[in-house]
């Protein structure tokens, strides 16, 4: 699905929600990104506790894939990306994606959620993307009644955390 279409669809909200095993979906997304990680010399780590969330399977898949792709793309050879799904009983975000990479100025993080924005001009040459990844992630998260936030890692790279409501 083209990025602008995903952004438009998720901005309209969800027509319905079904219970989705976030841990299983995240594991499938990580499996699908192993080759990409290998080509970029990035090691993927996972910590996936059982978690059920109400949502749209396709959009949640897109959200997770979007975050994993960026964690690999905007990394460094020999770096890592860590993806965690917290148990339903644990406080904190449902999904967290942390990665090594270039230093991200704290004041620049909020602009990453704006459409067509990137950290620096050199990021535009990595993947041919349009700078919509974080906007799409925010839109999908919002459509699911959740929140997303990002902050820089002091050693370089980014931490992105997604809060999603639990299944009633």
Q: What is the CATH number of the domain that holds 28?
A: 3.30.565.10
Tokens 């290998």 map to which residue? 38
Residue 123 belongs to some domain of the structure: yes
Residue 21 belongs to some domain of the structure: yes
* Domain total in the chain: 1
Residue 168 belongs to some domain of the structure: no
- How much is the pLDDT for 7? 43
80-85 and 43-48 as β-strands: parallel, antiparallel, unpaired?
Answer: parallel
pLDDT averages per 10-residue partition of the chain, 168 residues: 47 77 98 98 98 95 96 96 95 96 87 64 45 87 94 96 90
- How much is the pLDDT for 121? 44
Asked if 63 and 140 touch (Cβ cutoff 8 Å), the reply is: yes
What domain range includes position 92?
3-9+17-163
Helices marked H in the chain: 3-11, 22-32, 34-39, 57-73, 133-143
Asked if 82 and 47 touch (Cβ cutoff 8 Å), the reply is: yes
Output the pTM of the full model.
Answer: 0.86
- How much is the pLDDT for 9? 52
- How much is the pLDDT for 117? 54
Residue 150 belongs to some domain of the structure: yes
- How much is the pLDDT for 126? 45
- How much is the pLDDT for 23? 98
């Amino acid at each position: 699905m083209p990025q602008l279409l995903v952004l438009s669809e998720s901005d309209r909200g969800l027509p319905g929600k079904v219970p989705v095993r976030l841990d299983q979906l995240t594991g499938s997304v990580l499996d699908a990104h192993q080759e990409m990680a290998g080509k970029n010399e990035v090691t993927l780590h996972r910590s996936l506790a059982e978690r059920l969330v109400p949502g749209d399977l396709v959009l949640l898949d897109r959200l997770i894939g979007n975050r994993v792709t960026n964690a690999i793309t905007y990394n460094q050879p020999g770096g890592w990306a860590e993806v965690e799904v917290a148990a339903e009983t644990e406080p904190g975000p449902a999904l967290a994606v942390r990665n090594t990479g270039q230093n991200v100025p704290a004041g620049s993080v909020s602009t990453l959620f704006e459409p067509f924005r990137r950290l620096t001009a050199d990021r535009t040459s990595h993947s041919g993307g349009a700078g919509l990844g974080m906007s799409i992630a925010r839109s999908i998260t919002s459509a699911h009644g959740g929140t997303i936030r990002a902050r820089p890692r002091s050693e370089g790279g980014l931490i992105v955390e997604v809060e999603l409501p639990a299944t009633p």
